[in-house]
């Protein structure tokens, strides 16, 4: 039995479990069980596929095109996310990403290559807008897995990356607005405290803006079943300088096992790290769950293991967002989020589109 047949059989066994009423979505919501039906069409897909978080349509499109042209999936997914990293309008990654509490953009990324099982990562890197490419250099050109901070920047410069200021005007103004609203007793005045029109010479209103965990994960599989995955981010906005989230942690924000599949995460990185998110998704697929069910299983584990009251709502459910993504070796794929509606990007032979994520708490 070849690998693809093996995975299909495991997936079938997993779906049988779902049909028997053990569905995780149903367990959380009391709603109709989620099986391998039209709610999760990706579970039935086979063949070349690239998937990403919802902000990754250009990434999956580019990665798919490169894979179809015969390029290694690891080069393809990194080239894909480079587009989003370089986009000044995406405030969650790379250039234009939201900074830390001191107004400094610090970026995290990791990448993994299925066939060699090699990984590369950078964390807290400053002034380099494509950390995913630096992570790929760590993977290809060093015997290490992770380089952080000043060392990561020096490593990038040694490989010809250019240093540049990543804090564009839009992100700087958002940071300033956060700073002016974060402490009513400090000397940075917010809109109500000012004697002058706070919007004069500025774009938009001056209300406080929430913290964000914006990130992009992108995974790809080629016609041989070879996989790669990458995650890249500017991390939690206005974070404590030096804070590292899940995105550069192999096994948390991204993991790839060429015998099984690849997975990634976006959202509250602390919760993903504490539950070994991406690694756990891949293991759930190895144990027979479909990609969507594997994402839901790990989401449920994250929910069940959230104990701090300040992180729970009145129903005892996590009050934060996490979205998980899974791509199996045979081309099946899926995604799940904690609650509400959301979508993820997919490119297959049917084109590039958004598909709906399954939702643990509906
Ligand atoms: N998931 C992105 C972060 O927490 O930094």
Output the pLDDT for position 208.
Answer: 54
Confirm or reject: Cβ of 233 under 6 Å from ligand 1: yes
Complete DSSP assignment for 129-147: S-HHHHHHHHHHH-S-SEE
Single out the residue of 159, 176, 273, 169 nearest to residue 215, CA to CA: 273
How far is the centre of ligand 1, averaged over its atoms, from the C-alpha of 90 (Å)? Answer: 15
Tell me how far the alpha carbon of residue 348 lies from the centroid of ligand 1, in angstroms.
27
Which class is domain 9-167+211-359?
alpha beta
Q: Is 269 in the pocket of ligand 1 (CB under 6 A)?
A: yes
Contact 288, 313 (CB under 8 A): no
Structure tokens of 306? Answer: 């959230």
Using the mean position of ligand 1's atoms as its centre, give its distance from the Cα of residue 111 in Å. 15
Residues 6+ apart with CB under 8 A from 41: 355
Active-site choice (23, 215, 323, 352): 215
Q: What is the DSSP letter of 55?
A: G
Q: What is the pLDDT of residue 93?
A: 75
The answer to whether 60 is a known catalytic residue is no
Rounded to whole angstroms, how far apart are CA atoms 133 and 160? 11
Residue 307: CB atoms within 10 A of its CB come to 7
Mutate which of 107, 110, 235, 321 for ligand 1 pocket (most atoms within 8 A of beta carbon) = 235
Predicted TM-score of the model (pTM)? 0.86
Neighbouring C-beta atoms of residue 101, cutoff 10 Å: 16
DSSP structure string for 195-215: SS-TTTTSSS----------E
* Helix 149-158 and helix 131-141, axial crossing angle in degrees, nearest 10: 80
Is residue 140 exposed (0-12), middle (13-18) or buried (19+ Cβ within 10 Å)?
middle
Q: Output phi, psi for 221, to 5 deg.
A: -135, 140
Residue 234 alpha carbon, nearest atom of ligand 1: 5
10-residue stretch averages of pLDDT, the chain, 362 residues long: 38 33 39 46 96 96 98 98 87 80 95 98 97 98 98 98 92 89 86 68 52 85 98 93 97 98 97 98 98 98 97 97 98 97 97 97 93
Q: What pLDDT, on the 0 to 100 scale, is given for residue 30?
A: 35
């Amino acid at each position: 039995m070849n690998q693809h047949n093996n995975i299909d059989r495991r997936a079938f066994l997993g779906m049988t479990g779902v049909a028997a009423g053990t569905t995780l979505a149903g367990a959380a919501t009391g709603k109709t069980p989620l099986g391998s039906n039209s709610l999760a069409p990706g579970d039935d897909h086979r063949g070349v596929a690239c998937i990403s978080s919802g902000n990754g349509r250009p990434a999956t499109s580019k990665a798919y095109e490169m894979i179809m042209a015969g390029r290694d999936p690891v080069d393809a997914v990194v080239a894909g996310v480079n587009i989003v990293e370089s986009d000044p309008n995406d405030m969650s990654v790379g250039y234009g990403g939201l900074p830390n509490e001191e107004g400094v953009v610090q970026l995290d990324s990791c990448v993994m290559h299925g066939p060699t099982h090699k990984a590369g990562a950078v964390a807290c890197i400053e002034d380099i807008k494509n950390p995913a490419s630096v992570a790929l250099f760590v993977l290809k050109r060093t015997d290490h897995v992770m380089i952080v901070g000043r060392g990561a920047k020096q490593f990038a410069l040694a490989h010809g990356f250019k240093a540049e200021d990543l804090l564009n005007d839009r992100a700087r103004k958002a940071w300033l607005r956060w700073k002016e609203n974060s402490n009513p007793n400090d000397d940075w005045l917010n809109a109500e405290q000012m004697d002058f029109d706070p919007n004069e010479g500025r774009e938009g209103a001056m209300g406080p803006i929430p913290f964000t965990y914006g990130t992009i994960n992108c995974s790809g599989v080629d016609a041989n079943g070879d996989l790669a995955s990458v995650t890249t981010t500017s991390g939690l906005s206005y974070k404590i300088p030096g804070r590292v989230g899940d995105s550069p942690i192999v096994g948390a924000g991204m993991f790839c096992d060429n015998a099984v599949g690849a997975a990634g995460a976006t959202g509250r990185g602390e919760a993903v790290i504490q539950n070994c998110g991406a690694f756990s998704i891949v293991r759930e697929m190895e144990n027979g769950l479909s990609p969507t069910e594997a994402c839901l299983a790990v989401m449920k584990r994250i929910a069940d293991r959230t104990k701090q009251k300040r992180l729970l709502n009145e129903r005892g459910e996590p009050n934060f967002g996490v979205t998980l993504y899974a791509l199996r070796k045979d081309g099946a794929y899926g995604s799940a989020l904690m609650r509400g509606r959301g979508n993820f990007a997919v490119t297959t032979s049917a084109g590039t589109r958004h598909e709906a994520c399954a939702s643990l708490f509906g």
